[in-house]
Structure 1
């Protein structure tokens, strides 16, 4: 389940009409959400508040052998309109599950705020500031988001910790989204890492939305309700004199697809000799399956992981317009609210992960456990519970 501050940051991007899925970094987001969900450890309590449309705070208290916690603060120049209270927030907007990709929008329709000053319209470049202090380690992390232009987003993230080399690190990421394709440029002070990513979408070109409607489809995916995307990344560290490269493909159905939604991905790292393929399917409005196969051509080692996501819904519940906007689910159409969701995964090594996330009155509760079927004496591994409340 998304923490409150991550939930607010997602709202900042969504309300600003920034497409989080049109990037190489999110190529395998669906499989990651269904198979790599985090299992809580120990007991953790989150108390959060969005005191206004521009300010948010969050406090966390946990116990994993020692008492720890964190303090978080957030400011957004863009006034955020979202159901911040846990009692009215939609569970679907807090749980990361199967990702439904929307049709690409023309860049001319991208949201761009304007303010009027002295009778003139001025473009407003929205920003978001976020900071979090971890106790008792005194580790500090910070995030700065800046909407430089309708097609460009600057992201600066840093961490300060005495145990890290040079006392911390800074990561700068410049994202460019042109609809048809996207690029990302990154730099990290950790080993002076330099990198570039790119993603290209075949088929419909949102840059030319006014083409004749009776034209023959340029690609077969235009009238199959799907999108094929290809991307790659390359990075290099002059300090360590090392680098890496990877490439990937993704085919996913769109809301215009008449059958069941599904997503397929294939990623390859030629230097490491690793290959990974995933297949996720939305078998019904409340059920999703996902599988992943990893193989290394050098060692011939392979791993298989399968997972399932099962939703429990209310019979009658009205959801907010914001929740419908975040869902974009043509199967559910937000007609019924969700009480909870069960996630489970198992791999070929006998490791099982279970996660139950639900709304209990005005609380958001997450229960999780890890089981190792090959350990006869101690099969039960990590067990934890998280309770969140926001007002």
Structure 2
């Protein structure tokens, strides 16, 4: 489950019209959400508040080994209107699960952002500032995000920790999103790493305005999925080493009448790693995912299976499936979160390592209860058990 500050950052991206899914870094976001979820350890409490539309605070306390915690603050120049109270927010917005790609949005024109007063431009670029300190380790994390233009964004992450080389590191990302394609330029002070990655979407270009409404509608009706291809290249100037990867993704769009699904294939030719994933949303309550990894240098392979099951107060699986197969079939609609009481996640790999997670809401509290198990170690099956509680006002 996303913590409060992560949710606030997503609200900033939505308010500033930035599409996180149109990036090579999120090519495998669906598989990671269904297979790579973290199980909590021990007990952790988080109390947060959106004190004003532009300012948020969060306090965390845990007992993993020793008592530890963190204090974080966030400022957004753009007022955030999304519901962030734990008793009101939609669970679909804070629980990582199957990600349905949206239609590509035409980027704003530069002049749309201009604000004039008495013959002078008075508009300012949207900015987000975030800081978090961990106690008693005195580890400091910071984030700076600034929208430079409607298609460009600057993101700077910094970490200060005495256990790291040179006492910390800074990662800078210059991101460009033109709808049809996106690019990212990266620099990290760790090993003086520089990198470049990009993603290209096949199909209609959202930047081209339709010449006739009828033609545009006909094209949209035939575009039920999106095929994307991307690549990443990076090199460390200090350690004289680099890497390269490439990937493909096909995902159905909201106008697809069948079951939504996502397929990806990624390749790292230098390391010899090949990874393929397939995820399908088999119903409004159920999503399934598989991932197969293979190394063609060592011939080693790995297989993972995962699922998520939403628990609802009424069973609508059959109704939803019929609606997908027969779009003209109607049923009463409800709000996205009206009948949701929680979600169960589970994964297992070929070594019989199992992860189980139960997330939901009780009154005004969000909870995450999880455990990781190793079924081959009969004397110590449970590897970790924990619970996290969140409250925000």
Q: Same fold (TM over 0.5)?
A: yes
Greater displacement, 82-91 / 7-16: 82-91
| Residue 48 of structure 1: aligned partner | 48
Confirm or deny that 1:307 pairs with 2:309: no
Q: In 2, Cα distance between the equivalents of 1:359 and 1:62? A: 20
Deviation string, structure 1 residues 314-359 (Cα, Å, up to 9, x no partner): 459xxxxxxxxxxxxxx98727342100000000010000000010
Task: Summarize the Cα distance change of 1:113–1:89 in structure 2 as closer, same or farther, 3 Å threshold.
Answer: farther
> Secondary structure of the residue that 1:43 maps to in structure 2?
strand
Q: Secondary structure at the match of 1:377?
A: helix
Match of 2:358 in 1: 356
Q: Does 1:176 align with 2:176?
A: yes
Deviations 1:198-219 (A, max 9, x none): 0000011111131446669999
CA distance in 1, matches of 2:99, 2:39: 20
Which residue matches 2:384? 382
Structure 1 CA distance for aligned equivalents of residues 180 and 72 of structure 2: 36
**Equivalent-residue separation in structure 1 for 2:52 and 2:271 (angstroms):** 48
Unpaired runs of 5+ residues, structure 2, are 316-332
Distance 1:77 1:282 in 2: 37
Task: Quote the Cα distance in structure 1 between the aligned partners of 2:269 and 2:85.
Answer: 47
**Structure 2 partner of 1:39:** 39
User: Cα deviations across residues 35-79 of structure 1 (Å, max 9, x unaligned)?
Assistant: 100100010000000000000000000001200000000000000
The correspondence of residues 72-91 of structure 1 with structure 2, limited to 5 A, is 72-91=72-91
**Partner residue, 2:160:** 160
Deviations 1:203-244 (A, max 9, x none): 11111131446669999x971400000000000011000000
CA distance in 2, matches of 1:56, 1:162: 27
Give the secondary structure class of the aligned counterpart of 1:125.
coil
**82-91 vs 346-355, which deviates more?**
82-91
Residues 112 and 81 (structure 1), Cα distance of their counterparts in 2 relative to 1, 3 Å cut = farther
Question: Mean Cα displacement is larger for which, 83-92 or 234-243?
Answer: 83-92
Secondary structure of 1:195's counterpart equals: strand
Q: 1:361 to 1:110 in 2, by over 3 A?
A: farther
2: CA distance, partners of 1:90 / 1:314: 15
For 2:231 and 2:218, locate their aligned partners in 1 and report how far apart those are by CA, in whole Å: 24
Partner of residue 224, structure 2: 225
- State the shift of 1:105 in Å: 1.3
- Deviations 1:1-26 (Å, cap 9, x if unpaired)? 00000000000001111110000000
SS at match of 1:108: coil
2: CA distance, partners of 1:112 / 1:267: 38
1:122, distance to aligned residue in structure 2 (A): 3.6
Q: 1:111 to 1:277 in 2, by over 3 A?
A: farther
Summarize the alignment of residues 16-165 of structure 1 with structure 2, pairs less than 5 Å apart.
Answer: 16-108=16-108, 115=115, 117-118=117-118, 120=120, 122-165=122-165
Tell me whether 108-117 or 21-30 shows the greater mean CA deviation: 108-117
For residue 298 of structure 2, give the secondary structure of its aligned residue in structure 1: coil
Q: Do 1:285 and 1:332's aligned partners in 2 also have CA atoms closer than 8 Å?
A: no
2: distance between equivalents of 1:106 and 1:262?
Answer: 24
Distance 1:280 1:112, change over 3 A: farther
* Contact 2:92–2:337 (Cα < 8 Å) also in 1: no
Residues 341 and 61 of structure 1, relative CA distance in 2, 3 Å threshold: same
Counterpart contact for 1:92–1:338, Cα < 8 Å: no
Contact 1:185–1:196 (Cα < 8 Å) also in 2: yes
Paired with 1:266 and 1:42, the residues of 2 have a C-alpha distance of 36
> Judging changes above 3 Å, is the alpha-carbon distance between structure 1 residues 208 and 52 closer, same or farther for their aligned structure 2 residues?
same
- Alpha-carbon contact 1:198-1:231 (below 8 Å) kept: yes
Kept in 2: contact 1:90–1:337 (CA 8 A): no
Mapped to 2, the partners of 1:132 and 1:170 lie a distance apart of: 15
Q: Residue 368 of structure 1 aligns with which residue? A: 370
CA RMSD of aligned residues (A): 2.2
- Which residue number in structure 1 is paired with residue 323 of structure 2? none
- Is the Cα contact below 8 Å between 1:75 and 1:130 reproduced in 2? yes
Q: 1:153 to 1:216 in 2, by over 3 A?
A: closer
Q: What does 1:199-218 correspond to in 2, within 5 Å?
A: 199-212=199-212
Q: Work out the CA distance in 2 between the residues paired with 1:335 and 1:93.
A: 10
Would you say the 8 A contact 2:78–2:127 is kept in 1? Answer: yes
Mean Cα deviation higher: 78-87 or 104-113: 104-113
Structure 1: segments with no counterpart, 5+ residues: 317-330
Q: 1:280 to 1:259 in 2, by over 3 A?
A: same
